[in-house]
Chain A
Amino acid sequence: MTRSMTSDALAALTSAGLSRRAFVKASGALIVAFSAARLAGDLGIAPDSAAAQGINGPGSNDLDSWIAINADGSVTAYTGKCELGTGLFTAQTQLVAEELSVPIDRVRLFQCDTSITPDQGTTSGAQSHPANFNQSNLALACATARETLVQLGAARLGLPADQLTTAAGAVIVRNGAARRVSYGELIGGRQFSVPLNREATRKPASEWTVLGQPIPRLDIPAMATGQFEYAHNVRVPNMLHGRVVRPPTFSATVGAVDEQSVQGMPGVVRVVVRDNFIGVVAEKPWQAERAARQLKVAWNQGTPLPDHQTFHQQLRSQTATRDTLIVDSGDVDAKLAGAASIVRATYLYPYQMHASIGTACAVADVRNDGVTVWSSTQNVFALQSTMAMVLGREPDTVRIVFRLGPGCYGVNGADTVSYDAALMSQAVGRPVRVQLRRQDEMAWENYGLAYVLDQRAGLDANGTIVSWDHESWSVSRGGRPGGNSPGNVVTGSLVGFDAALPAPRAAEPPTREYENGGNDVPSYVTGCSGGVCGGTGTIRSERVLSRVVESPFFTGPLRSPARLQNTFAHESFLDEIAASVKADPVQYRLRHLGDPRLREVLTTAAAKAGWDTRPSPRARAGQGVVTGRGVACVLYEGDNGYCSVVAEVEVNQDTGLVVVRRCVAAIDCGPISNPNGLRNQVEGGIIHGMSRALREEVTWSAERVTSVDWQTYRPWYLGDEVPAIESVLINRPDAEAAGAGETSITVTAAAIGNAIFDATGARVRQIPFTPERVKAALDTRGAG
């Protein structure tokens, strides 16, 4: 069969490809420099790195980098924030249509392509809504474009700009006069040649007709009918297929590769070996698969892995730690010493995986005169830079084109498989498509962080918290490759680049301005540092110490990195304290919360759920199936979206099995851009969060990771029981746009754990809440 380039790939290469690159370069619009702050954040090694994972790129100050009016008056827009399955492509298209007063089908949006779109850093951390829907970046570009069009229209119509407005792709007269001039007539096919205007006026939310509406997602019809082009569907002429052969164990090295072992196999083109990287390239994917299975490699065994069963104890006993005091009021020890009572607890969180539904895939075409890679990376510009390092090329000869992959949830295999494909393409001189095998992805992912979290609180005689002390141990190895660390993911490491590791250091008193990007600081303290008190609570005596140690496995951001782990510990602990003074969990939270919006999501979720105001637990002993309710709330990243979830569970006290029957969420992410999309995100976060809370944990033996397929890493299947989910969306048209996609998942585990406690009186302090673990907690009720 003659292979032809897929139409989308071809279109991207030709119509919107290098010609636009040349155009933007010539106009000086495309800024490809990397800010130092972004690089630091992307390395992912500092304890506060999770906070910086969503850090934005420089964008562009030139309107032509964002918006073009075509000759027919339609609008082309360019964004550096890509669709990862959240509905962002549609929401951004709504934004452009709204601000420019054109129907949504008159907007064509290009996303995340180093040759044609602005560098907006990483699409992550629920940062796209704040980045592109406030007075900056894409929204500011749209407002500047509209303002510029009105000014051009004023000159053309001979009327003052304040008498004009925009509608249906034209500048019109406000008083209803018939005079109008279309965008196409004004500037179709030509450049604006103006910078973004920081003061450009956005359309007020009260006038929105497209943005804020539940517009159906533009990509779903193609997805539902098998027409959508994922990275996996990119086909280019002359393309070969590759498979990787990963080491059997962590830190194993290649001894010898017996290329004879696959010689003569049908279709095999080449065995590619570079340092410890091994790939097999063949004419067809099944041929590559068979050869990869058959290839004989002698490996030098690596160092044994730490014992899985005692891993958390080992973690907290490490001495080479990188310590950061995030807040320290200096009086915690004294306040605790003088407290009427002290509550203590320790919470444990496992390594978890992104475990996207499909394995990662990329297509690379490495030629002497340039490199093109189709990738599902969250950061095309960072991948451009590190790809150049891996291939020994100059970054400006590398083009990275984003294509949606299966899910995302953070650093799954998208970056590493991009290197895999490029290394093989470079070796064979033809385009190569690589899709990972299931076990290759699962055994070598950048796992979400394991944690140990110690909590201590002092209470006064009235049962009010007077001091909160939090100390955590987590792990780090690698992370996002960022702009200069390809070794942060497995393939870069295999070809000799170092993975970033946490450099040990002692904690110093906190001096930098308060921020809580990792949600290390609980919601109930004042959060004061560097002269700024940015917390959401009222407790003034506070200390939060974060310790990071070297991880035996690669780690990286996984949906709500650090925030989920910390919030699980904080919201579980708050519940434990409330129970210790026999206070209702909602009322007790309110007693220590100052932020009105956080209070509102909490009370809204509780009211919608029909919250039964009383202390937990409902019962403390017994058999059979019992029910309970639990709540948790958070201001995600300390400043990026409010959410509260009430969970109602059934616990079978004979088996320890937990079934979540109902979840009620309240969310406030500022002005709502698409209510149906927001609801979808809240629901998905709850189901994903439930799967991680009840089931998911990476396991390993002394030699290797043993979670390598869907039986050994079992998530929530479609046929498994799911809760009824109700979401209350609190719309704040006049507030800043904030994050949504990682908010509900951040509180789900704690809400479920608190509900288990309410139902049974048993506190489960280790994720996941497996039946065995719940049963063990039930059997020791009252003991702790």
Chain B
Amino acid sequence: MSVISLTVNGRMQTVDVDPATPLLYVLSDDLELRGPKFGCGLSQCGACTVIVNGQATRSCVTPVEKVAGAAITTLEGLGSIENPHPIQQAFIDEQAMQCGFCVNGVIMTAKALIDRTPNASDAQIREAMSTVLCRCGAHVRMMAAIRRYAQGRTA
């Protein structure tokens, strides 16, 4: 066990864990955050995505020791029900989910892309989403929500 400090959603957190513990486990169990989800544990679906120093990062395969001291943003760090972030609002406006379990990975991956590439083309968005999975088939609405966010950001 090791004492590790993380900055999660702007707040310093200290946990005492096995340093090999995947970041996802620390976020969802030690810190009881609900945004990042366990989908596969294999970095194949995106459900666990968080933003680490501006990069979309699969927290299920990221040992927590690797992100000690880094700035980590989770879905709940973007906005709240009362005051959602514009990308969250875009997904609400488009009603772009069904079970909603994958939406963490969709929003966090898209946000990291659009923040870095505000004028991302459809091809670039699709490339970023090529390893993000939705099983309910909300694909069309999710892509529309990402475009809505991107357009609102550059408007």
Contacts and interface: CB of A to CB of B under 8 A. Distances in A.
Interface of A: 1, 6, 84-87, 216-217, 219-230, 232-233, 235, 241, 266, 284-287, 290, 355-359, 404-409, 435, 437-438, 676-677, 680-681, 683-689, 691, 709-711, 715-722, 724-725
A711 B143 CA distance: 23
B137 A718 contact: no
Contact of A266 (B18, B30, B47, B106): B18
B45 interface: yes
A124 B143 CA distance: 28
B29 A230 contact: no
Nearest to A684: B137
Nearest to A354: B135
A633 B29 CA distance: 47
Interface in B70-105: 74-76, 78-81, 84-85, 88, 91-92, 95, 97-104
B94 to A, nearest CB: 10
19 contacts: A6-B32, A85-B98, A87-B98, A224-B97, A225-B76, A225-B79, A225-B80, A228-B34, A230-B101, A235-B32, A241-B29, A357-B135, A358-B39, A406-B39, A680-B138, A684-B137, A717-B129, A718-B134, A718-B139
B45 A227 contact: no
Contact of A722 (B17, B36, B38, B140): B140
Contact of A719 (B36, B131, B136): B131
B100 A223 contact: yes
Contact of B130 (A228, A229, A689, A720): A720
A232 B44 CA distance: 19
A685 B1 CA distance: 47
B140 A725 contact: yes
Nearest to A3: B32
A723 to B, nearest CB: 8
B148 interface: no
A357 B92 contact: no
Contacts of B28: 232-233
A710 B102 CA distance: 14
Interface in B94-130: 95, 97-104, 106-107, 125-130
- Which residue, of B39, B45, B102, B137, has the highest number of chain A Cβ atoms within 10 A? B137
A721 B45 CA distance: 17
Contact of A220 (B34, B100, B125): B100
Contacts of B74: 226
Between B22, B81, B125, B135, the greatest number of chain A beta carbons within 10 A of the residue's beta carbon is seen for B135
Given A217-B95, A225-B88, A228-B34, A406 B140 contact: no
Contacts of A227: 34, 76, 80-81
B33 interface: yes
A240 to B, nearest CB: 11
A769 B65 CA distance: 45
B18 A286 contact: yes
B40 interface: yes
Nearest to B101: A406
A12 to B, nearest CB: 16
Given A226-B33, A226-B34, A266-B18, A718 B133 contact: yes
Interface string B8-28: 000000000110111001001
Nearest to A435: B38
Contact of B91 (A6, A220, A709): A220
A676 B129 CA distance: 25
A715 B131 contact: no
B105 to A, nearest CB: 9
Nearest to A745: B137
B22 A286 contact: yes
Contacts of A685: 137
A221 B81 contact: yes
B148 to A, nearest CB: 13
B56 interface: no
Name the residue in B37, B75, B130 with the highest tally of chain A Cβ atoms < 10 Å from its Cβ: B37
Given A225-B78, A228-B100, A290-B18, 13 more contacts: A220-B95, A221-B84, A225-B75, A228-B34, A284-B30, A406-B37, A408-B99, A438-B40, A683-B138, A685-B137, A709-B44, A718-B106, A720-B139
Contact of B102 (A357, A680, A722, A725): A357
Contacts of B42: 438, 709-710
Contacts of A285: 25, 29
A717 B126 CA distance: 9
